[in-house]
Amino acid sequence: NVGNRQNLGVLLLALQIFQFGIDRIPIVTLITLLTNIGVYLHVPELFHVDLPKVRDICISYNGVVVYREYLRLVLSGFYHLSDMHLYYNMASFLYKGTQLEPRLGAFRFASVLGTLLVGSSAVYCALQYTAANLLMLGASHLSTCAAGFSCVLFGLKVIMQNTTPPSHSLFGISIHMAYWSELVWISIISPNVSFVGHLAGILTGLLITRGPLNFVLTGETPAFFEGGLRNQQSWGSGVASGGGSAPRRSNIYQDRADNFNEAEDAELQEAIRRSLAEENSTPRRGGGEYSTQPEPRGYTPTRLYPDLPTQPSAPPLDQDNYHDPSQAPSLPADLDEIRRRRIQRYG
């Protein structure tokens, strides 16, 4: 129960959260933090809700594939084996969540978390099965369990680093390759951590940033739902028609700009269509309003001055001398007559 656990890591985490400012933490990040803390402290048991044991929810090939306990794909990420395990994971998530959620939005960030949680667990099972067969580790290796939020954290690390300008580096290592270095470094200093679990998180993060799961990050409809490769360029995987082109990096801000440009083009096309419709419209009989409806066959618009000639009475201007006021032709009498009649009609 709660009283039998070592809670130093929980106290350190609570101190860090309040020091950061609980009001500054985005909603999805805050809910995820509180859920992990609550599960570790067995808070649901205070309300007579029993939580499963770690051995019953930890992720393994046998547990998921052989025994078909698919809830392990989700629940394993919310269980931590010690208070310091919880502290390090949630402190890292606090930083990553407050950086990514404002950029992605709450719904999209929650979608990314869910995809990383389930996807990394599935990739973990695939890697475990592959390693057991290629390295001949034996059937017992397929029952090796892992739990914790580290898979999701490595996936978030990949997403953050792949949306950072490539000029950044850390100790001479490109920041886009830092997660590979961290994978090896953590496995050396902490042999008990799950190397396969961290690797599964990295691979799932790459599937989101550069692979077919990119629609989770960009919010676009995946191409395999639209029957073909028409949207494959928007996946961010870099597969382009014409062959041989380099992959483009996923950029959610460019995607939003493209969507804005498409909306702007649509508004422009609509404005042009309305303008053409106004130009083609004819005056209504007996009024000055315009209508886009065609007039009946044989209809002749009523002339304002029916007794005036239909052809212009003034000779054409001399194109060579029209700019010279002294040589400009005088106004014809018909124009003076038009002015007089307008004054009588409207004055």
Place of tokens 């830092």: 178
Distance in angstroms (rounded) separating the CA atoms of residues 304 and 301:
9
Out of 60, 76, 198, 234, pick the active-site residue: 198
Distance in angstroms (rounded) separating the CA atoms of residues 78 and 33:
10
Q: Is 141 a catalytic residue?
A: no
- Do the beta carbons of residue 196 and residue 146 sit within 8 Å? yes
What CA–CA distances, in Å, run from 242 to 205, 210, 228?
27, 19, 16
Distance in angstroms (rounded) separating the CA atoms of residues 328 and 311:
21
Distance in angstroms (rounded) separating the CA atoms of residues 14 and 12:
5
Residues linked to residue 170 through DSSP beta bridges, in sequence order: 173
Distance in angstroms (rounded) separating the CA atoms of residues 39 and 141:
27
Backbone angles phi, psi at 146, to 5 degrees: -145, 150
Backbone angles phi, psi at 174, to 5 degrees: -55, 135
Q: Is 80 a catalytic residue?
A: no
Distance in angstroms (rounded) separating the CA atoms of residues 125 and 79:
18
Give the dihedral sign, CA 120/122/127/132. Answer: positive
Token couple for 189: 């200093």
Token couple for 141: 């290796």
Q: Give burial (CB, 10 Å; 0-12/13-18/19+) of 294.
A: exposed
Out of 150, 194, 234, 250, pick the active-site residue: 150
- Active-site positions read 150, 198
